Amino acid sequence: MIQFLLPILMMIQSPVAPAPAPDVPSIRMVGEQDYVELVGLLDSSDWNERESATWRLARATADVPDIRIERSLGQEGLSLEQVMRLLRVMEIRLLHAPRGALGIQMPMNRVARPGDILRIEPRGVGVSAVIPGLPAEKILQVGDVITHINGIPLEDREDLARIVQQHWPDDVLALRINRMLPGQQGIEPQDREVERLELEITLGSTAVLRRSGGTQSVLDPALADRRQRLMELYQKHGAVPSSIPSPRAPEIGSIEEEQDPLIRGILQQVEGIRNGTYPATLADLHPQWEAKIKSIDDQLSSTDLQPEQRLKLEVRRDRLQAILDATESANRF
């Protein structure tokens, strides 16, 4: 029965609520007493207090580690509302919240070629570009090879991404790098003279990295592991509905029943965000939908429309507004 309820619960509780606004910094001053009080407020009779406590716990990544929340989930005495909101806090942290970022582009991992076994390649991850506005711009250089992070050796770009994204923006990491000395361009890698440096870097945010306009997407090899971890938490502690229901949002309709191709496409985007297959958030899409509504309003202001054209546009506008209202309501979880 629990296995049957779990997918339904995940659809109801989590998918349409996007990440915290990426420009809102993590809250760094939540002590143990503050934590206990915030957990208590998760069961408040006031909806706004429950909301505020949920988001504060989700953002207090430095002072409230994930393991502290998981210990709370294992304790007796919590209401169902508190349990479900703590699970929601973990969902925000694991799947939605911006994670740590260096701000570099990395070359693709080399494919082995005949004769490579005889070559001595430098272990580590090369820096092919540094991204303006992120920490690496002031610390690293193109051509640097990052060999270790916090003492952990790196073999490929997935190693680097996995370690960095275990951390949050503003965390400090220790890097060990090989930096090529001047005049070494064109020399075989095993023959280059390098300077070995120990550096510290304060991480930036994947939210800034995604907005940087780089040609590479944000590498996140641990996302599947975090999804599995969240599923295990829901299986262990969830599978029951919240005892204090949230305000109901307007229904946005069925993809299969939708006749308007534009609206059907938008519903497919929402569904993709819900199941994690669409590479954006509702916050990313809302401005696009608002622009479409404005465009329709401009068309409706024309006096040259035929009655059937006007009706079609009015129905489309109403459907767009309903979807926007429904998902913005969910956005305030």
215 to 98, 105, 119, 131, 281: CA distances (angstroms) = 19, 9, 30, 11, 20
Q: Report whether pLDDT(78) > 50.
A: yes
CA distance 303 to 110: 61
Q: Report whether pLDDT(83) > 50.
A: yes
Average confidence score pLDDT of the chain? 77
Residue 158 in 3-state DSSP?
helix
The third-level CATH classification (topology) of the domain covering 100-210 is Pdz3 Domain (2.30.42)
Model pTM? 0.58
Give the DSSP H/E element, type plus range, for residue 164.
helix 157-164
Backbone dihedral angles phi then psi of residue 183, each to the nearest 5 degrees? 85, 15
Average pLDDT, integer, range 125-130 = 91
Burial of 261 (0-12, 13-18, 19+ CB in 10 A): exposed
Residue 62 in 3-state DSSP?
coil
pLDDT tens sequence across 43-61: 999 888 888 889 889 888 8
- Per the DSSP assignment, residues forming a β-bridge with 202 are 172
Average pLDDT, integer, range 172-177 = 95
Closest of 221, 181, 212 to residue 197, by C-alpha: 181
Give the chain's end-to-end CA distance (angstroms, integer).
27
pLDDT tens sequence across 218-258: 788 888 889 899 989 998 998 554 444 443 334 566 777 77
pLDDT tens sequence across 259-290: 788 888 888 888 888 777 888 888 888 888 88
111-120, 237-246, 305-314: which range is least confident on average? 111-120
Query: So where are the chain's domains?
Result: 2-98+221-237, 100-210, 261-331
200 vs 112, higher pLDDT: 200
Q: What angle do CA 54, 57, 59 make, to 5 degrees?
A: 110
